[in-house]
Chains A and B, each alone.
Chain A
């Protein structure tokens, strides 16, 4: 065990720290102008897509430097590196691994520059956790695929310019996973209809997407026909790697402590109450465990061992913290806990109320906690399939 950094790594860490000293103002001064400037600056540093190859426009950093970068950003509660959410999380990595030169050229720079958003066409009305049973059909006709069917719960669909889409190109394969193909689809293609769905906060965050004879050029086939499942598994694992999630959670805990400091319980600040302190200490411990789990997985990667299903561990921790910290915050607010969020909410404009109604994206997207538990039980513990 050795947590010391090499000289180069130390130099890199110092560079990151210097950059943050010079360019990251205190949180209360981070306005919209700052957000714009920040996006430009980190892009110039090539810290967006930091670990992606230089040839495609990434930073060419190794995984250790990437971890340093993320930890330093987390310690200072810096905003994210890049804003093309799904593009950076899994579309980009999938294109880099499976895409053609032409696809890399067309998409990667745009993702890094956040020219537009991507959305993800996985779930269907009858197909959720059992994703490999998907029915949306793709039929090869000459130099394009014709897509018919429906996707749903598609986050950002009405704003995204592109979608990474899974379709069934072969029916009745021996294993249902084998007939799935991955396509990159432009959202303004003729035949696509997007019908927003309101989430429980009445925000149109996700949508139904209908495909009616939509033509997708073969040039937008990602990987090979029938390789869609393999690509997806890799991409979703990428979503679960976990280190970067720690940043957001640390910030959440800062705010929770702040709330507890300013809330009263039995005539004194709630943060002095033993039960409140222990509860927050428990969350902190969980986040620390996530951080160290991440470092152990990183070590595996550095040693050249592939990461498997163990990344579901941190996904489950995230789910736990996301669900219960907001609940706890409402509890701290007493009767104010039930006031609807908005400008008039006396405590932080109701940010915790929004959280308490908004954790679903992080917890359900990419596989519900029960699915993560199945993954661990079946793939790691070797228990029989359901």
Chain B
């Protein structure tokens, strides 16, 4: 038994850290987040060259063929830097393709994801925001060799940057009869609108599909199409990915306050000496440690023990949603008025915590799932 990272994983962490510290410190992140694209195509290419965009892509399709645990390391570090990029979107597309695509479909899309030339996002949610089979109301109607998609997708990560979308749709009125297809951003009837996020390092959008004709060979799995369990697994990966970014970001935000508490003098003493300051900081440490433990086990389950994954992903995401919310709020409060300013970075972590709590199910959703899966 070994519940820790390997040397290779620690090396990966150190490399990512070094890269982001030099290329994307927070002043750079602020520039990127306010740019038109919302990410840096130049750094995206550099990350591709380092192999990080193809971490999960099998070697035969130009990737490195590593595991979700490895990816968790990468996401923790991009989270720590609040690094704006379509990494989450592309990662979920990779999972959708790896787990459901035919060899031909994998060959068509994975190499472009690994080398950074193509950005694929996932469009799984709709206006009523339900993470259940009936949350997919977009319809797929057969017309000869084509599938005609009609509906509206919401909360699509980095929608405006994407070349393709993995879209969930409904085949019939049967509750569980849903599938996934890859559509082209430039296909007739596809419209993409930007929605602004509180967390400006994150982008998402609305995808409107007005009778979009999709060739049959774009339905993932083709003759044995992906169905609800595949989408549920995508949601699990999504929640795990958000939690990994949450761990890094929470640690980053925590470190900022701890440093401040070691420098700021009031009433003739460092404020870090006062228990009103040091105790919340200790509580945050307890929470971050605990999210890590839940998350790492959940990540391992996604790789090695799929039947356990839903429970532990939900535990990790639920705990992280509540804990990071507190860390975001306390982070502002403990800095006093300084924390309230645009210029100081505490606000960036607070905003990230708002994104984390809402992305792919908040604590209520995930605690409900813990209760259901725990059989009570």
Contacts and interface: CB of A to CB of B under 8 A. Distances in A.
Nearest to A9: B1
B300 interface: yes
Contact of A281 (B262, B281, B291, B370): B370
Contacts of B69: 1
A271 B261 CA distance: 43
Contact of A3 (B3, B258, B371): B3
A4 B318 CA distance: 27
A278 B369 CA distance: 9
Contacts of A9: 1
Interface string A127-147: 000000000000000000000
Contacts of A372: 282
B312 interface: yes
A221 B188 CA distance: 87
B367 A1 contact: no
Contact of A300 (B4, B289, B368): B4
Interface string B246-262: 00000000000010011
A293 interface: yes
A313 B283 CA distance: 9
Q: Give the interface residue-count category, chain A.
A: 35 or more
Contacts of B374: 281, 284
A289 B281 contact: no
Contacts of B278: 373-374, 377-378, 381, 383
B108 to A, nearest CB: 32
A23 interface: no
A266 interface: no
Contact of A2 (B2, B286, B290): B2
A384 B273 contact: yes
A374 B273 contact: no
A5 interface: yes
Interface residues of B, number: 46
A4 B303 CA distance: 13
Nearest to B277: A383
Contacts of A277: 367-368, 371, 376
B272 A296 contact: no
B335 to A, nearest CB: 15
B364 interface: yes
A379 B334 CA distance: 20
Contact of B279 (A3, A4, A290, A370): A370
A377 B376 CA distance: 37
B296 interface: yes
B273 A386 contact: yes
Given A298-B3, A313-B290, A377-B281, A385 B367 contact: no
A322 to B, nearest CB: 15
B362 to A, nearest CB: 11
Nearest to B369: A281
A286 B258 contact: no
B275 A374 contact: yes
A299 B368 contact: no
Minimum-distance CB pairs A-B, first 7: A292-B293, A377-B278, A289-B290, A281-B370, A373-B282, A277-B371, A376-B282
Interface of B: 1-6, 69, 258, 261-262, 270, 272-273, 275, 277-279, 281-283, 285-286, 289-294, 296-297, 299-300, 304-305, 312, 315, 318-319, 363-364, 367-368, 370-371, 374, 376
Given A285-B294, A293-B289, 16 more contacts: A3-B300, A67-B1, A277-B367, A277-B376, A280-B376, A284-B315, A284-B374, A286-B290, A288-B315, A289-B294, A296-B3, A313-B289, A373-B275, A374-B278, A377-B281, A384-B262
20 contacts: A3-B305, A4-B1, A9-B1, A64-B1, A278-B368, A280-B371, A280-B376, A282-B318, A289-B293, A295-B3, A299-B2, A316-B286, A317-B286, A373-B283, A383-B261, A383-B278, A384-B262, A384-B270, A386-B273, A386-B275
